[in-house]
Amino acid sequence: MTTELALSIGALVAELALLAYFWVQSRKPPDPARIRVFPYNVAIIVVTLLIFLTLAHIVSLVTGTQVQPRRPKGMR
């Protein structure tokens, strides 16, 4: 296992932990005496995007080839 792969897997685990924390915080009932300052739902979307990007990076490290986007036939 290369160092870059180990770091990527560590980052993925940290992102999953953040996603779980944000999920739990967003499901708590609101306290009428306090204002929610941090938008947990937006943070969930951003962390989910980061998880997809990290997974694509891990796939490219394991397979040895970059993930190529699919292009329409007219753009080749």
Beta strands, E only, the chain: none
Instruction: In whole angstroms, give the CA distance from residue 22 to residue 38.
Output: 10
In this prediction, residue 65 carries a pLDDT of 79
pLDDT of 1-17, one tens digit each?
A: 789 999 999 999 999 99
In this prediction, residue 74 carries a pLDDT of 67
Print burial letters for 26-35: b (CB count within 10 Å at least 16), e (below 16).
eeeeeeeeee
Residue 37 in 3-state DSSP?
Answer: coil
Residue 35 in 3-state DSSP?
Answer: coil
pLDDT of 19-76, one tens digit each?
A: 999 999 999 988 889 888 889 999 999 999 999 999 999 999 999 877 777 777 766 5
